[in-house]
Amino acid sequence: MAPSHPSTHSAITLHINGEKYSLSVDHRTTLLDALRERLDLTGSKKGCDQGQCGACTVLVDGRRTVSCLQLAVAAEGREITTVEGLADGERLHPVQQAFLDLDGYQCGYCTPGQICSAVAVIEEHAAGWPSAATGDVRPEAGPPPLTAEEIRERMSGNLCRCGAYVSIVRAVARAAAEQSTTEAAA
């Protein structure tokens, strides 16, 4: 009798930007390839395909994830947000708007990953998470000021070959300031 081989494919359902997508994937398919090649969600970009550039960054359960290193099968049941899911209808997310207003890009290839990362950076900072640039990491010290140094450190997993960093830092700072003003007024 011929030996039976385990299937190399699984039927999975991914929750992306509030929608459910059912598909059959090879177990080795990365989340990035599933998004781009199978679901036509091409906003997330493939830069290095080995976890070094951040171009493929998406949010998984609100946390930043390099989707080229995440298997699609492991993302089943998680809430995935890609750059396509950030805007509210025709209204851009404040981070998107800040990148647009302040020229936070040149070629734009790294931009979707930069924007997804920045959305999470602002949340992480507001929640009091320290970074390697934070001087006083005691919980009672509260969130450090979101200085350019803090932003650069927190965004350091996202590379920009064009070198648009100066504008990216300004855009993240403006979006963070807007968010804290909105939250203070609420």
Query: Which residues of the shown chain bind ligand FES in the complex (CB under 6 A)?
Result: 46-49, 51-56, 66, 68, 105-111, 160-162, 164
Choose between 168 and 176: whose C-beta lies nearer to ligand FES: 168
Q: How far apart are CA 133 and CA 125, in angstroms?
A: 12
Choose between 81 and 134: whose C-beta lies nearer to ligand FES: 81
Q: How far apart are CA 94 and CA 85, in angstroms?
A: 13
Q: How far is the CB of 167 from ligand FES (least distance, A)?
A: 9
Q: How far apart are CA 32 and CA 65, in angstroms?
A: 10
Q: How far apart are CA 152 and CA 158, in angstroms?
A: 10
Determine phi and psi for 58, rounding to 5 degrees: -130, 175
Q: How far is the CB of 91 from ligand FES (least distance, A)?
A: 23
Choose between 56 and 175: whose C-beta lies nearer to ligand FES: 56
Q: How far is the CB of 88 from ligand FES (least distance, A)?
A: 24
